[in-house]
Amino acid sequence: AQTVTQSQPEMSVQEAETVTLSCTYDTSENNYYLFWYKQPPSRQMILVIRQEAYKQQNATENRFSVNFQKAAKSFSLKISDSQLGDTAMYFCAFTPIYSGAGSYQLTFGKGTKLSVIP
């Protein structure tokens, strides 16, 4: 079974500063995807960024980037130039890539509550 651990229940960052959210996971699979989802107070789950395990290059999306360390099973999210709208819960998620039952299932961490302070 896969597990996803987010060790920081809450974090805060000053507006315009940079913050890094941590995520570790445990799996015996070799092929998988990792995601960061954002859940603002509106409750909507929004995909922030995706990383394929077979790609060594770290994914980036504008101000969001990841540090993917496959051997260490670590997948951290860096938010640069933090904005007030980044205030939200952030969830790390994992899904294995294989055919058959059990695939396509997202396993989520418990989340990190990020507050951006003006």
Partner 1 sequence: DAGVIQSPRHEVTEMGQEVTLRCKPISGHDYLFWYRQTMMRGLELLIYFNNNVPIDDSGMPEDRFSAKMPNASFSTLKIQPSEPRDSAVYFCASSLAETTYEQYFGPGTRLTVT
Is residue 16 part of the contact set for partner 1 (CB under 8 A)? no
Rg (CA), the chain: 14
Provide the pairing of β-strand 10-14 with 112-117. parallel
Residues 56-115 that bind partner 1 (CB under 8 A): 91, 95, 97, 101-102, 104-106, 108-111
DSSP 12: E
State in angstroms the smallest separation of the CB of 106 from partner 1.
Answer: 6
Task: Provide, rounded to whole angstroms, the least separation between the CB of residue 15 and partner 1.
Answer: 27
Binding residues for partner 1, rule: CB under 8 A, are 33, 35, 37, 42-47, 50, 91, 95, 97, 101-102, 104-106, 108-111
